[in-house]
Amino acid sequence: MKKLSMLGLSVPVLSIALAGIFPAQVKAERLVIQGSTTVFPITVATAEAFMRDNPGADISVRGGGSGGGVRALVEGGRIVAQSSRPMRHKEKMTMQAAGRNPVEHTIGLDGMAIIVHPNNLVTGLTMKQVRDIYAGRITDWKDVGGTPGRIVIVSRDIGSGTFGSFVDIVMKKEAIHPGAIFQASSGAVVEAVSGSPHAIGYVGMGFLDERTKAVDVDGISPTVENVVSGIYPISRPLFFYTDGEPRGLAKQYIDFVFSPRGQEIVAEQGFVPVK
């Protein structure tokens, strides 16, 4: 019995200890990109294409949320941070105080889609209705023109850039009702909404597929054209952040993302190219 409890104790202790001894170390010829799960599909697809063209290059892409990526960069990690929200003032200050200079690269735009179950009769909502639903003031689908039924609010966890953008753009800093379901990734939001006829969720446009239905917001559909022209109300830039101007492999890769081929991949992934 004693042996067992010791075992239970020492396994987490060991893994924590290992994580402390071997932090994400990066060799010069290796590039690590870390952060937003929204930007993740773009990064993976462009990195794969880049590595096919440059067999010597070694790029690894990690998720973890915008906050995690930006924090790793701020705290001195030799990485490229991918983020679906701009770096905060405080984060920039911390980095500059350490004598380093964050450089922002806007690699694409993302329209944020409001999604519902495919069987939901609602096809459009106003910004105010979305805000009222997420704040818990509208609780039944019949109040927004749907079949009666209690609305299930699905949100990203607060560690995500998507959450931050949603709170900024849609909620105008108002609190999301604490009774919401919180999911750890955009994929999990799609999963939850596709499985629940009464659910509403929000994800980047790249996550739209036949499993859920995107509703119009203020009468505008979340399409690439509407985001480019600026009439779709919920859109945001997607960023890479580097410590100083990128050099070496990081520069080659970021140049590739901005190349016509790279921007084509951005569009293929369901996002809006910037060039």
Partner 1 sequence: MKKFFRRGKGIEFLFLFFALASVFFLAGIVVVLFSSGLLILRTVTLREFILGRYWHPLFYEPPAYGILPIILGSFWVTLGAMCIAIPLGVGAAVYIAEVASPQLKEILKPVIELLGAIPSVVYGFFGVVALAPFIMRLFDLPIGFTALTASILLGLMALPTIVTISEDVISSVPVLYREASYALGATKLETAAKVVFPAAFPGIVTAIILGMGRAIGETMVVMMVAGGSAIIPRSFLQPVRAMTATIGLEMGEAASGSPHMHALFGIGCVLFVLTLLFSIAAERFSIRFRRQVGI
| Residues near partner 1 (CB under 8 A) | 1-2, 4-6, 8-10, 13-14, 16-17, 64-68, 71, 75, 90-91, 94, 149-150, 152, 154, 157-160, 163-164, 167-168, 173, 175, 178-184, 188, 191-192, 195-199
Cβ-contact 81, 175 below 8 angstroms? no
Cβ-contact 199, 134 below 8 angstroms? no
Per-residue b or e along 126-156, where b marks 16 or more CB atoms closer than 10 Å to that residue's CB: ebebbbbbbeeebeebeebebeeeebbbbbb
58/191 with CB nearer partner 1: 191
Which residues, in sequence order, are bridge partners of residue 155? 182
198/213 with CB nearer partner 1: 198
5/119 with CB nearer partner 1: 5
For residue 205, count CB atoms less than 10 angstroms from its CB and return exposed for 0-12, middle for 13-18, buried for 19 or more.
Answer: buried
Which residues, in sequence order, are bridge partners of residue 241? 81, 104
Task: In angstroms, give the least distance from the CB of 167 to partner 1.
Answer: 5
- For residue 31, the one-letter residue type is L
Task: In angstroms, give the least distance from the CB of 6 to partner 1.
Answer: 8
93/103 with CB nearer partner 1: 93
178/260 with CB nearer partner 1: 178
Task: In angstroms, give the least distance from the CB of 221 to partner 1.
Answer: 26
Find tokens 């405080």 and name the residue: 90
Task: In angstroms, give the least distance from the CB of 268 to partner 1.
Answer: 27
Say whether 52 sits in a helix, a strand or coil.
Answer: helix
85/108 with CB nearer partner 1: 85
Task: In angstroms, give the least distance from the CB of 85 to partner 1.
Answer: 10
Task: In angstroms, give the least distance from the CB of 40 to partner 1.
Answer: 13
Where do runs of H (alpha helix) occur along the chain? Answer: 2-21, 40-53, 66-74, 89-97, 127-135, 161-169, 186-195, 224-228, 248-258, 260-268
36/263 with CB nearer partner 1: 36
The two tokens of residue 266 are 């951005």
Task: In angstroms, give the least distance from the CB of 138 to partner 1.
Answer: 15
Task: Identify which of 235, 232, 243, 263 has the alpha carbon closest to the alpha carbon of residue 85.
Answer: 235
